[in-house]
Chain A
């Protein structure tokens, strides 16, 4: 299996950064996930061979980290923090609002494959609570209206 040229190049440089090959596993898994949407069987096998581990060992690592996943999720990954700071500032309402607006529950993807909703632990954005992450971007000081606006905006963008 071959990854995109950019990722191949990245692997080639990264692998030289560590004394042992296996050390490059976790960053590579993240990059592969970004490129493919999830860590497929094929990708697991490929990276296992490249870093000289068994498929099992790679799967052990993937299952350890909650940010690594083997099943594809929606294009927009809504991760709503419900830890204390966000909770005190109404995170649960925000989460309920998301559920209602998207029509899905926790850890579910909408039928059009656009949105994935997930309740997560602290994302370190307590100063701007309640906060969420959409893919790698922070969305802060959430309100019900802000959620609606965000979702509508994304839907519209996708329709064009």
Chain B
């Protein structure tokens, strides 16, 4: 659109036509105060705080509803404007309780800030305050009616933003009140967006209210550890007896890929970290019982058992299972540990998506994966399978926002009418389980349509859909774990032909990272097959065992047959997730690193209590391949992080940790290379790479950034801007393969987590807040239950 020139406070601004005056001012660094205005939500014009003087207009105008016009002359801070704002504040404060000393929002309240700025603290009104008691609307949402200033932001973000529409306005004029959808309580997605967006303390969080004051916490922006979307959550931490306790989660800095958004898990489900059942010290099995031990004894025992197994039965008798919640550095280290220290390729993890098939189908083509940010601005989106509203709340938000703000076309193909069909331009309800056939139909196989059509979907509609998709440019194709193997390949081929970008949906916070870092028996980091010669072989002195190892289920079978002498489980719970009979592991020496006595940990021989993602640094890769840095927020006395545990075990086994983690001034195995220069042949490649990237050699073997150095140097796609990572930004990684590996991975091993909005695997099981909400929406059934029924296990571990 054409540009428009206007003058604001004597400054000449040039902005595109159609810009709101308030936005034009903001862009020029001129602050116009507001309560009811909110970017990307519909306009309200209710609070009158943004009144400005515009030349030739007789009255003050609201900057939030006025569009810029050519030659407009605006004054944002004149005496008249100041007086108007001050009066507005006086009226707002007339019935405001002024209980700021005990209000949750005290110190972070927009009304306080404005009053501070415009000085309307003295009240001319003598009327009695109209008091109402606070109301609990849900386990996590409380409403203090007298504090409300009726900006209607909560109503708009709930309706327009979340498509939940559970807040409304009742009565009118001065007696208006915000009302929940079920008379006296809310029935909604419990995202808490209304609390974040409330400019005052009218809506407060059940998980945080009256616990502390904002200035008594330290605020750390880190990556949420629940689903695979990688939202940034700001954790407020405060010192407690057991370390730094997380007391609040919210979306304070709004700098993450999630923008304004945060769901219930990122906001409230941090409380697992201080759950009373959290393990504070290592446990070892003595006479059939797990009893506390010291770290030294635990490490010694583990190293001895690994050595024993290696001596008696060789490397193939040891198995390693990695995690979807540990950092990239830990995953990379774990597979390196398995391959170099233990000498086995028996390493796997709980797979939730067919990332290998995806990487293989893309075959190293650049710019073919979409980032989470891309979804917000894509002209068209095709969603096959999955239910993002439940399983990928941020993705659902991005899609909704894209449709609402950019009028993007959304094509939904799903076996059930998932909530996103409300935004869909076209919704095809296919027969359950026929996602693969649908893709084959897209790819041109007309016969495949036979099993896709249903009473809800005719053959003609399918053909129309295919034609429409073929005409979409800038399409982002998003698919769930319903598509695997050859179907992924067919879909990628279909999309690549028209320049589409893809997102493959996996279930946990770092499942993509686990896959990228090579937690596979047949693939090294970057999906490089173990059988072909790779950069890793070169760097790691050909210590990689030459045969593919056993996958998770094969390891369990081997354990059952007594062939697996030792099993090293890092942050995973295969017994619950993969329905393994606990007795299958009775013949193996089982080492578990976890926060809790999970189903797997409780049958282990040694349990090492470890830190969670909120308590360490490292990087996570979300399901769309955006890499972000974790920042340490919480602390729990007694635990260590997985990284340290792995390094210490390797050291106890007599392995040179310099070869495992490239740390220290000497780099991996030579000097820094300065004496000979980068090109002089013998120099240490890692040190040269570090020097050329202006990075410091890491001084401790427990420093995950030392591992990140190696990851960035060796794993294709991870050679991304470290500066942006360190600055807390998300950096999109490309899925580039070393060689075009095909037929790797086994689609049958993929088990989706099927978590809902209110569940999150083991983490959810130990989050009291999440459980309270979950119970509220799933009334308990009168089940017949065993005498030893443990209500804690009800959510399936």
Contact A56 B172 (CB under 8 A): no
Contacting pair B171 A56 (CB below 8 A):
no
Interface residues of B in 147-200 (CB under 8 A from A): 165-172, 179-181
> Do B181 and A64 have beta carbons less than 8 Å apart?
no
Asked if A60 lies at the interface with its beta carbon under 8 angstroms from chain B, I say: yes
Instruction: Known A56-B166, A57-B165; judge A64-B179 contact (CB<8 A).
Output: no
A63 at interface by CB-CB < 8 Å: yes
A55 in contact (CB, < 8 A): yes
Residues of B within 8 A of A60 (CB): 168-170, 179
Contact in complex: B172, A59 (CB < 8 Å): no
Residues in A neighbouring B165, C-beta threshold 8 A? 54, 56-57
B170 in complex: contacting residue of A54, A55, A59, CB < 8 Å: A59
B172 partner, pick from A54, A55, A64, beta carbons under 8 A: A64
Residues of B within 8 A of A63 (CB): 170-172
Please report which residues of chain A, range 50-70, place their CB below 8 angstroms from some CB of chain B when the two chains form the complex: 54-57, 59-60, 63-64
How far, in angstroms, from A64 to B166 measured CA to CA in the complex? 18
Q: Which residues of B contact A56 (CB under 8 A)?
A: 165-168, 179-181
Tell me if A54 and B169 are in contact (CB < 8 A). no
Interface size class of B (residues with CB under 8 A): 10 to 19
Proximity string of chain A (40-55) to chain B, C-beta cutoff 8 Å, 1 when within and 0 when not: 0000000000000011
What is the 8 Å Cβ interface bit string for chain B, positions 426-454, against chain A (1 contact, 0 not)? 00000000000000000000000000000
Task: Determine the distance from Cα of A60 to Cα of B167 in the docked complex, in whole angstroms.
Answer: 10
A57 to B170, CA, bound (A): 9
Contact check, A57 vs B171: say whether CB atoms are below 8 A apart: no
Chain A residues with CB below 8 A from B171, complex form: 63-64
What residues on A are CB-neighbors of B180 within 8 Å? 56
Closest Cβ–Cβ distance, residue A98 to chain B (whole Å):
25
With a 10 A CB-CB cut-off, give which of A54, A55, A57, A63 has the most chain B CB atoms.
Answer: A63
Residues of B within 8 A of A54 (CB): 165, 168, 181
Residues of chain A within 8 A of B166, CB atoms compared: 56
Interface of B is mostly: strand
In the bound complex, CA of A60 to CA of B176 (Å): 10
Give Cα A57 to B165, complex, Å.
9
By size class, the interface of chain A is under 10
Tell me the nearest residue of chain B to A58, going by C-beta: B168
Q: Are A57 and B172 within 8 A (Cβ)?
A: no
CB of B173 to closest CB in A, whole Å: 9
Provide the bound-state CA to CA distance between A54 and B179, in Å: 13
Residues in B whose Cβ lies below 8 Å from that of A59: 168, 170, 179
In the docked arrangement, what's the CA distance between A132 and B179, Å? Answer: 33
CB neighbours (8 Å) of B172 from chain A are 63-64
Closest to B170 in A: A63
Interface centre among A55, A60, A64 (most CB of B within 10 A): A60
Nearest-neighbour CB distance to chain B for A14, whole angstroms, equals: 24
Residue among B166, B167, B181 facing the most chain A CB atoms (10 A cut-off): B181
Cα of A57 to Cα of B164 in the assembled complex, Å? 12
Q: Quick one: closest B residue to A64, CB to CB?
A: B172
Residue of B nearest to A65 (CB): B172
Whether B179 lies near A55 (C-beta < 8 A) is: no
The complex places the Cα of A60 from the Cα of B169 at a distance, in Å, of: 6
- Looking at A56, A59, A63, the one whose CB has the most chain B CB atoms below 10 A away is A56
- Nearest to B172 among chain A residues (CB) is A64
Please report the C-alpha to C-alpha distance between residue A59 and residue B170 in the assembled complex, in whole angstroms: 7
Shortest CB–CB separation between residue A51 and chain B, in angstroms? 14
Q: Which residue of A lies closest to B173 (CB)?
A: A64
Measured CA separation A63–B169 after assembly (Å): 9
- Hey, which chain B residues are within 8 Å of A55, CB to CB? 181
Question: In the complex the two chains form, what is the Cα distance from A148 to B170 in whole Å?
Answer: 38
Interface string of A121-132 (1 = CB under 8 A from B): 000000000000
Within the assembled complex, what's the spacing in Å between the Cα atoms of A59 and B184?
Answer: 13
A57 and B167 CA atoms in complex are apart in Å by 9
B170 / chain A contacts, CB cutoff of 8 Å = 59-60, 63-64
- Which residue of B is nearest A54, CB measured? B165
The complex places the Cα of A55 from the Cα of B167 at a distance, in Å, of: 11
Alpha-carbon gap, A59 to B181, bound state (A): 9
Contacts of A64 in B (CB 8 A): 170-172
Residue of A nearest to B171 (CB): A63
In the assembled complex, the CB of A47 is this many whole angstroms from the nearest CB of chain B, namely: 15
Chain B, Cβ-Cβ closest to A62: B170
A63–B175 Cα gap in the complex (Å)?
Answer: 10
Give residues 460-518 of B contacting A (CB, 8 Å).
none
Q: A33 vs B179: C-alpha distance in the bound complex, in angstroms? A: 23
Q: How far is the CA of A21 from the CA of B655 in the complex (A)?
A: 74
Question: Which of chain B's residues has its CB closest to A66's CB?
Answer: B172
The B19-61 residues at the A interface (CB cut-off 8 A) are none
Query: How distant is A42 from chain B, measured CB to nearest CB, in Å?
Result: 15
Closest residue of B by beta carbon distance from A57: B168
- Distance between Cα atoms of A57 and B171 in the complex (Å): 12
Q: Given the complex of chains A and B, what is the CA–CA distance between A131 and B171 in angstroms? A: 27
> Which chain A residue has the least Cβ–Cβ distance from B155?
A60
* Bound CA span A60–B179, Å: 8
Complex alpha-carbon distance, A54 and B166, angstroms: 9
Q: Which residue of B lies closest to A41 (CB)?
A: B183
**CB proximity of A80 to chain B, nearest CB, Å:** 22
> Complex formed: what's the CA distance from A80 to B169 in Å?
29
Q: What CA separation (Å) do A59 and B166 show in the bound complex?
A: 12
Taking the closest CB of chain A, its distance from the CB of B392, in whole angstroms, is: 25
* Chain A residues closer than 8 Å to B169, beta-carbon distance: 60
Bound: A60/B180 CA distance, A: 10
**For chain A residues 7-65, which have a beta carbon within 8 Å of chain B?**
54-57, 59-60, 63-64
Q: How far is the CB of A45 from chain B (nearest CB, A)?
A: 12
CA distance A54 to B167 in the complex (A): 10
Measured between beta carbons, the chain A residues less than 8 angstroms from B168 are: 54, 56-57, 59-60
Residue of B with least CB distance to A60: B168
Nearest-neighbour CB distance to chain A for B176, whole angstroms, equals: 9
Q: Which residues of A contact B181 (CB under 8 A)?
A: 54-56
- Of the listed residues B167, B168, B171, the one surrounded by the most CB atoms of chain A closer than 10 A to its CB is B168
How far, in whole Å, are A55 and B171 apart by their CA atoms in the complex? 15
CB distance from A25 to the nearest CB of B (A): 14
Query: How far apart are B717's CB and chain A's nearest CB, in angstroms?
Result: 45
A57 to B159, CA, bound (A): 11
User: Which residues of A sit under 8 angstroms from B167, Cβ to Cβ?
Assistant: 56
CA distance A4 to B50 in the complex (A): 51
CA distance A56 to B188 in the complex (A): 13
What distance in Å separates the Cβ of A28 from its nearest Cβ neighbour in chain B? 19
For the complex, what is the distance from the CA of A41 to the CA of B170, rounded to whole Å? 16
Q: How far is the CA of A3 from the CA of B170 in the complex (A)?
A: 26
**In the complex, A60→B172 CA distance in Å?**
9
| Alpha-carbon gap, A67 to B179, bound state (A) | 20
Bound complex: CA of A1 vs CA of B167, how far in Å? Answer: 26
- Residues of B close to A57: CB separation below 8 A: 165, 168
A59 to B167, CA, bound (A): 11
The answer for the CA separation of A59 and B169 in the assembled complex, in Å, is 9
In angstroms, Cα B205 to Cα A138, docked, is: 52
Q: How far is the CA of A57 from the CA of B155 in the complex (A)?
A: 11
Q: 11 A-B pairs, CB-CB below 8 angstroms?
A: A54-B165, A56-B166, A56-B167, A56-B168, A57-B165, A57-B168, A59-B168, A59-B170, A60-B168, A60-B169, A64-B170
Further pairs besides A56-B179, A64-B170: 20, Cβ < 8 Å? A54-B165, A54-B168, A55-B181, A56-B165, A56-B166, A56-B167, A56-B168, A56-B180, A56-B181, A57-B165, A57-B168, A59-B168, A59-B170, A60-B168, A60-B169, A60-B170, A63-B170, A63-B172, A64-B171, A64-B172
Residues of B within 8 A of A (CB): 165-172, 179-181
Shortest 8 CB-CB contacts between residues of A and residues of B: A56-B181, A63-B170, A56-B168, A60-B168, A64-B172, A63-B171, A54-B165, A60-B169
